[in-house]
Chains A and B, each alone.
Chain A
């Protein structure tokens, strides 16, 4: 996997209006693999917590007999966290503010995963 492929995939997501950052995270470790974040964002904290959340959601959804989740959207009062697994080892995470078009962001995240595949 070339560095430019990561950058192209993350750029696709961060170009969506309202998205404040995107990163690829090691799902098991919760550690950042590649990131394109606004300066003030704590990438390591977002990566660790998003990977933990995605792992727990995965176990819950699989426990309910619904297979592995393909997309996670968590909406807060100040913004939205979006996550899409790339295989079992990597997670594409985007952090967006309230104004984001979540549907468009979701579409671009799936396109980004196709670039990475």
Chain B
């Protein structure tokens, strides 16, 4: 498991242990990856993060069109594995969790421990740093640092 934000590690490890999820991606609603577990290739994470954020955005728009409250969760269930997409508020803004799980756990357990993860993240989040001006050089350095953290390359 790899995380850009160190305070995410303990809550996410507890979630992975309890839920028995195979893959997990935490990202912002813009698709910026916060932490990942189980992905091997950077290109997979980038693609999945972009698709996950896109699905949450499009289902949110669907709900808005139908005058429904936003969907809290989207689940695609297959015979051998399923994936769950959930968006939730954190002290650092709205995040998305994408969880892939197999038949050795259940949707109910993943939902249950995801609720716990949301609470644990809220409790573990340090005070947000004061906003800094975004410079091109800083942006590139931080991007490269995040990629090294997430994929170790």
Contacts and interface: CB of A to CB of B under 8 A. Distances in A.
Interface stretch (B45-53, B61-69, B103-111, B127-135): B103-111
A29 interface: yes
B112 A28 contact: no
- Sort chain A's interface into a size bin: 10 to 19
Interface in A28-77: 28-31, 44-45, 47-49, 51-52, 55
Interface residues of B, number: 9
For the complex, would chain B's binding face be called helix, strand, loop or mixed by DSSP majority?
Answer: helix
A60 to B, nearest CB: 15
Contacts of A31: 106-108, 111
Nearest to B77: A29
A26 B103 CA distance: 14
B106 A52 contact: yes
Contacts of B105: 52
Contacts of A55: 106
Contacts of B106: 28-31, 48, 51-52, 55
Contacts of B108: 25-26, 29-31, 44, 47-48, 51-52
A48 B112 CA distance: 7
A2 B94 CA distance: 40
B74 to A, nearest CB: 15
Contacts of B107: 29-31
A28 B80 CA distance: 12
A11 B18 CA distance: 33
A48 B77 CA distance: 16
Contacts of A51: 106, 108
Contacts of A52: 105-106, 108-109
Contacts of A26: 108
Interface of A: 25-26, 28-31, 44-45, 47-49, 51-52, 55
